[in-house]
């Protein structure tokens, strides 16, 4: 992967000025992840049934080839999904991801430091909900995907039981969720289609409410059944 790192470095320099301005202009939600990276990572070890269910949904999308995790965080999903490379804005998150064997680059999703048409697939696990400028990010993802490349994006659906819980927590100033924008399924469809993606598959899980005893679930193909929804979309 040294050749890819070299290409990434070249474009990283090209984008440096614009990215620096972007950092300065916005109160990025990544800063809270920088501060609470270990807390974020430990949540999944404390909720193993939820984590396993979500991983099963991602794996069921059958992602193959050279992949990039946009918003890789601590690499906890990338490692299990066997995604080779990850980008994130948080240095603290990336330090943990490196320990999991992920090749990482610090970058903003709005300025992906890669040449055109290089990846077979992109994975975003709840990243979409924390983006300040999702439209620019989707344009960048479209640019770096090969023809017929795949975007796999997973969200907590806003009008689901888990989504409603997180929305209420956001209103009360939750350290993470106050920065999030949770999407409905129609909103997600519209956003992806607007930017040149065609949805070809769904996998959902967490069919039980947050108040129930957690269990490990196999993913469902009905997008309306689970609070955690993964969408597989192809670049048109």
For 191-211, write each residue's pLDDT tens digit.
999 999 999 999 999 999 999
pTM for the model stands at: 0.88
The full length of the chain comes to: 236
Beta carbons of 112 and 144 less than 8 angstroms apart:
yes
Band of residue 18 on the pLDDT scale cut at 50, 70, 90: very low
Q: What is the reported pLDDT for 34?
A: 73
Determine the average pLDDT of the residues in 88-96.
92
Which bin fits 212, alpha (ψ -120 to 50), beta or left (φ > 0)? beta
How much is the pLDDT for 29? 59
CATH topology for 2-235 is Rossmann fold (3.40.50)
Percent of the chain with pLDDT over 70: 87
Q: Which two tokens stand for residue 86?
A: 């990850």
Task: Give 135's contacts (C-beta < 8 A, 6+ positions apart).
Answer: 191, 194, 195
What gap in Å lies between CA 233 and CA 236, rounded to an integer? 9
Mean pLDDT of 81-87: 97
Give the whole-number percent of the chain exceeding pLDDT 90: 77
Closest among 157, 76, 69 to 105, alpha carbons compared = 69
Q: Please compute the mean of the pLDDT values over residues 25-51 and round it to a whole number.
A: 78
Q: Give the CA angle between residues 128, 181, 149 to the nearest 5°.
A: 15
* Mean pLDDT over the full length of the chain: 90
Query: What is the predicted pLDDT for the residue at 40?
Result: 81
Are 204 and 60 within 8 A, CB to CB? no
Query: Six-digit token pair at 232?
Result: 């597989």
Task: Give burial (CB, 10 Å; 0-12/13-18/19+) of 81.
Answer: middle
For 170-184, b/e burial (b = at least 16 CB within 10 A) is beeeeebbebbbbbe
- Span 23-38, average pLDDT: 63
Q: Would you state the structure tokens that stand for residue 44, as one six-digit string? A: 């999944």
Show contacts of 74-79: CB within 8 Å, 24+ apart.
74/37, 74/40, 74/41, 74/100, 75/99, 75/100, 75/101, 75/102, 75/104, 76/41, 76/44, 76/51, 76/100, 77/123, 77/125, 78/102, 78/123
pLDDT at 168: 96
Q: How far apart are CA 227 and CA 204, in angstroms?
A: 7
């Amino acid at each position: 992967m040294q050749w890819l790192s070299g290409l990434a470095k070249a474009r990283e320099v090209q984008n440096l000025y614009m990215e620096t301005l972007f950092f300065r202009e916005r109160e990025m939600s990544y800063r809270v992840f920088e501060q609470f990276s270990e807390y974020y990572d430990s949540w999944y070890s404390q909720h193993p049934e939820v984590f396993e269910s979500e991983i099963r949904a991602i794996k069921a999308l059958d992602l193959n080839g050279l992949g990039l995790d946009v918003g890789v965080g601590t690499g906890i999903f990338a490692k299990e999904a066997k995604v080779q490379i990850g980008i994130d804005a948080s240095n603290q998150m990336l330090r943990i991801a490196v320990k999991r064997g992920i090749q990482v680059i610090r970058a903003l999703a709005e300025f992906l430091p890669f040449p055109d048409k290089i990846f077979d697939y992109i994975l975003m696990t709840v990243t979409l909900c924390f983006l300040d400028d999702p439209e620019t990010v989707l344009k960048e993802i479209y640019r770096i995907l090969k023809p017929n490349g795949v975007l796999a994006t997973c969200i907590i659906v806003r009008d689901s039981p888990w989504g409603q819980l997180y929305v209420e927590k956001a209103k009360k100033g939750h350290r993470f969720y106050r920065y999030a924008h949770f999407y409905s399924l129609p909103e997600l469809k519209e956003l992806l289609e607007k930017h040149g993606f065609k949805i070809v598959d769904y996998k959902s899980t967490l069919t039980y409410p947050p108040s129930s005893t957690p269990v490990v679930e196999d993913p469902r193909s009905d997008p309306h059944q689970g609070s955690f929804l993964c969408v597989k979309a192809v670049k048109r």
